[in-house]
Amino acid sequence: MTLLDITDLKVTYSTKNGKVHAVNDVSFSIGEGVNYGLAGESGSGKSTIAEALLGLLPDNGQIESGEVLFKGQDLTTLSPSERRDILWEDIAYIPQSAMDALDPVMSTGAQIRQAIQKHRNVSKAKARERVRELYDIVGLDPNRIDDYPHEFSGGMRQRVTIAMALALEPDLIIADEPTTGLDVIVQDKIVDKILEIQERMDSSLLLITHEIGVIAETCDDLSILYGGKVMEQGSVDNVLINPTNPYTMGLKNSFPEIEDGGDPVSIPGSPPNLSQEPSACVFKDRCPFSTAECEQSHPDLVDLPNRNHQSACHHVKKAAQMRRDAKEPET
């Protein structure tokens, strides 16, 4: 069954210099028990999608159009309080830089206990017991529930935020860059922990990260975003093993760990101008395949012959051929 179904989502921010078209016609859906990755470089609209679907956009942000169905219910039409209830009961959100957002003057355990007591009719002692359990689940010492945020390392604070998000056993966990800013070993541990918990709770995961290596390891499906547009999406095997979009290929090259070796190469050029809705391919200025056609319209996201694979590129065939050529070098 589909848990989350986003259709043609458009989000803008109003600024003194006009509108920023941060998310343009994004559609994807997440089934029950599925791990879904949202990838793309900084500014591609990842966090905006999460905030829009949760009703947490800042005051200058607005959903222009589109539908966000969670278990069949359109979240965009709910009142803030109805949305908050769903948020806590069904969807857990680990925001970007969550570990820095903990209240510095309250013990970490008390912050989680309060969240539990706000939503469940349980005694303080019972809620504290639950916090101890959660610390154990996320790999923190349950005897440290009275410690303050500053007494923990970055990785441990991130575990606290995960414990907080899990307190009410959500159906969907949305984690925005949960490993960014942590060292590599801690990153691996946090990812493993999220997966272990998510499997145990049988929940779905929306994992937002610019590190596609992490998505390759952990997710079933993904969308690759650029300039607020989905450039390629589908199963991880299709999209990351056999990419057909020049942007995905460029991203992949900048993450050598999912290739066999090779130096990381970042894609030259700067991100697109978001002051207007895209009238040309958003990637055209940085794309090696760009032609006059790419100036004329942004390509539609079209189904490719293999199941569960879509790409938006006027030159899908050329790009796929080049990938095949690169795989089988002439001798």
Binding residues for Mg ion (CB under 5 A): 46-47, 96
48, interface contact from Mg ion, ligand ATP, none, CB < 5-8 Å by kind: ligand ATP
Q: Among residues 4, 6, 10, 13, which is the contact residue for ligand ATP, using CB under 6 A? A: 13
Q: How far apart are CB 121 and Mg ion at their closest, in Å?
A: 36
Q: Which is nearer to ligand ATP, 127 or 267 (CB)?
A: 267
Q: How far apart are CB 15 and Mg ion at their closest, in Å?
A: 17
Q: Which is nearer to ligand ATP, 107 or 187 (CB)?
A: 187
Q: Among residues 130, 193, 210, 229, which is the contact residue for ligand ATP, using CB under 6 A? A: 210
Q: Which is nearer to Mg ion, 95 or 246 (CB)?
A: 95
Which residues from 94-133 bind ligand ATP, rule CB under 6 A? 96
Which residues from 29-88 bind ligand ATP, rule CB under 6 A? 40, 42-48, 58, 60-61
Q: How far apart are CB 86 and ligand ATP at their closest, in Å?
A: 22
Q: Which is nearer to Mg ion, 109 or 272 (CB)?
A: 272
Q: Among residues 8, 15, 85, 103, which is the contact residue for ligand ATP, using CB under 6 A? A: 15
Interatomic CA distance for residues 91 and 37, integer angstroms = 16
Task: Tell which residue, 267, 286, 271, 206, has the closest CA to residue 42.
Answer: 271
152, interface contact from Mg ion, ligand ATP, none, CB < 5-8 Å by kind: none
Q: Which is nearer to ligand ATP, 93 or 135 (CB)?
A: 93
| Site size with ligand ATP, rule: CB under 6 A | 18
Q: Which is nearer to Mg ion, 175 or 294 (CB)?
A: 175
Asked if 24 touches ligand ATP (CB under 6 A), the answer is no
Residues that bind ligand ATP (CB under 6 A): 13, 15, 20, 22, 40, 42-48, 58, 60-61, 96, 210, 274
